[in-house]
Structure 1
Amino acid sequence: MTFGEQPAYLRVAGDLRKKIVNGSLPPHTRLPSQAKIREEYGVSDTVALEARKVLMAEGLVEGRSGSGTYVRERPVPRSVARSGYRSGSGSTPFRQEQAEPSARGTWESRSEQAEADAAVAERLGLRPGDRVMRTKYVFRDAGEVMMLSTSWEPLTVTGRTPVMLPEEGPLGGCGVVDRMAAIDVIVDNVTEEVAARPGLAEELSALGGVPGHVVLVISRTFYASGRPVETADVVVPADRYRIAYHLPVK
């Protein structure tokens, strides 16, 4: 293959992708069969199969048991807003957004004590096996799961305090900044890293994706004078949402 040439299966996938994007193959249309692709493009069965696999991996088509492969409905991506964190707001950024009259969001959570694994321990500056409060969240928009989140807080910070359970007690449901301030822990910094990866099976099951779909993961950690006091992973389906940052300029 010389420079600039594409393998045959990518050329076929590219042409079919173009037809899907421009509407020649609209949503819910059956993708041409392997035999039709072979005949139309003059390629082998192997090339036709690999081209279909590319489109499936990109989330453009989906297989239906006993029926064939069909063009998927292409959702219009919506924004998940990330903004500067303010104390005194009394709620998390998601809850602030959902206070708008047009908002349709709901959420549920479950907290339990757990042992920090190696990755969480490193992020919180703990030793593996140290106790943390783990809280799992499911966020919905008009009933559709839009986001998953798992947070971990070191019990060396919050244990035996009124804010030990993030969603219960006098400050239940308030943001990390305000909850920590209630126990004289002043959060002064937060970091967020955004990465893309294939979704785990349990994540895609909850988010309504199919195997191979990509998710965006926001890894967030709050600090108080350099000490990590909370870390979390927020998981968002990449084909339906974009992460939009609105940060103040100082």
Structure 2
Amino acid sequence: MREQPPYLRVADLLRQRIANQEWTPGVDRLPSRAQLAQECGVGENVVRRAQELLISQGVLEGRTGSGTYVAEPRERLQMVRSQYREQSGGSPFRADMSALGKRGTWESRTDAKVPAPADIAARLGIAEGDLCVRTAYEFLADGKPAQLSTSWEPYSITAGTIVVLPEGGPHAGKGVVDRMAEIGITVNHAVEQLEPRLATTEEATILGVQRSAFVTHIRRTYYSEDGRPVETADIVVPAALCDIVYEIPITP
């Protein structure tokens, strides 16, 4: 059996010391890397890798110019992926937050007539450079950032209609399924692909997590009943703060 890498062993030792309440979360600063390295019998680079791992997992937090601290516990949010949330109308995110006793809101910025990059065009079944309506979202739970999303809709589908702007007009904020129904398009399924990765610097800043923290990247595409993609989105969920739960219907 291969020996555990030294930085993982140090990370386990730090977790144990945290579990033993050796340091008060958010208050006590951890010893210097040099001191921890001496105590653990390893080099400072090993301690650095162990701390970076625990920071990415939300166990520790680094403060510029101050040092490393045990992170204060943050309540985990539950994001439910379910066909029933889609059918109920309104925002699935708002429904998730309401179930947790929280207020779900969001901020958005929409840009119309944006040329589709190659990867988005492939997901939407259109040509690269075809015009889209792009909307960037920051979803908030009781005013605190919880997840990010960037949505793309083919401009050819909604141009000249009352739902061309996802967050404008009489049907603003109602979600893709309800908005498309207003122009006679029935959305009957969605496909999601999940990928774990590290947060970008911009994502980490907006979400209030450490740089290089793990996130779950969800590529979601909605399809109409004739199989046409009508919207695709990149959803970014911080792994340390959110649980993603899927409800799967079973037909007897």
Amino acid at match of 2:10: V
Residue 196 of structure 2: aligned partner: 196
Pick which of 122-131 and 80-89 moved more: 80-89
Residue 127 of structure 2: aligned partner: 127
CA contact (8 A) 1:163 1:169 kept: yes
Amino acid at match of 1:240: L
Residue 70 of structure 1: aligned partner: 69
Q: Report the number of matched residues.
A: 248
After superposition, the CA RMSD in angstroms is 2.3
Distance apart, 1:199 and its partner CA? 0.8
Residue 18 of structure 2: aligned partner: 20
CA distances 1:57-113 after superposition (whole Å, capped 9, x unpaired): 444323323332222223242211222157774412123445669331221222112
Residue 35 of structure 2: aligned partner: 36
Residue 165 (1) aligns with residue 151 (2): no
CA distances 1:113-138 after superposition (whole Å, capped 9, x unpaired): 21110111010001111000111111
CA contact (8 A) 1:92 1:176 kept: no
Cα distance change, pair 87–26 in 1 and its aligned pair in 2 (3 A): closer
Where does structure 1 lack aligned partners over 5 or more consecutive residues? none
In the aligned structure 1, how far is the partner of 2:182 from the partner of 2:12? 56
Amino acid at match of 1:163: V
CA contact (8 A) 2:56 2:210 kept: no
Amino acid at match of 1:67: S
Residue 220 of structure 1: aligned partner: 220
Amino acid at match of 1:208: G
Where does structure 2 lack aligned partners over 5 or more consecutive residues? none
Larger Rg: 1
CA contact (8 A) 2:57 2:240 kept: no
In the aligned structure 1, how far is the partner of 2:80 from the partner of 2:125? 28
State the secondary structure of the residue aligned to 1:73: coil
State the secondary structure of the residue aligned to 1:188: strand
CA distances 1:163-210 after superposition (whole Å, capped 9, x unpaired): 111122232222212221222222122111222111111111111112
State the secondary structure of the residue aligned to 2:243: strand
TM-score (norm 1): 0.88
Pick which of 104-113 and 63-72 moved more: 63-72
Residue 249 (1) aligns with residue 247 (2): no
In the aligned structure 2, how far is the partner of 1:52 from the partner of 1:97? 32
In the aligned structure 2, how far is the partner of 1:182 from the partner of 1:111? 20
Pick which of 188-197 and 130-139 moved more: 188-197
Q: Identity of aligned pairs, percent? A: 46
In the aligned structure 2, how far is the partner of 1:164 from the partner of 1:215? 30
CA contact (8 A) 2:78 2:96 kept: no
Cα distance change, pair 198–81 in 1 and its aligned pair in 2 (3 A): same
In the aligned structure 1, how far is the partner of 2:93 from the partner of 2:200? 23
Pick which of 110-119 and 51-60 moved more: 51-60
Q: How does 1:55-66 map to 2 (within 5 A)?
A: 55-66=54-65
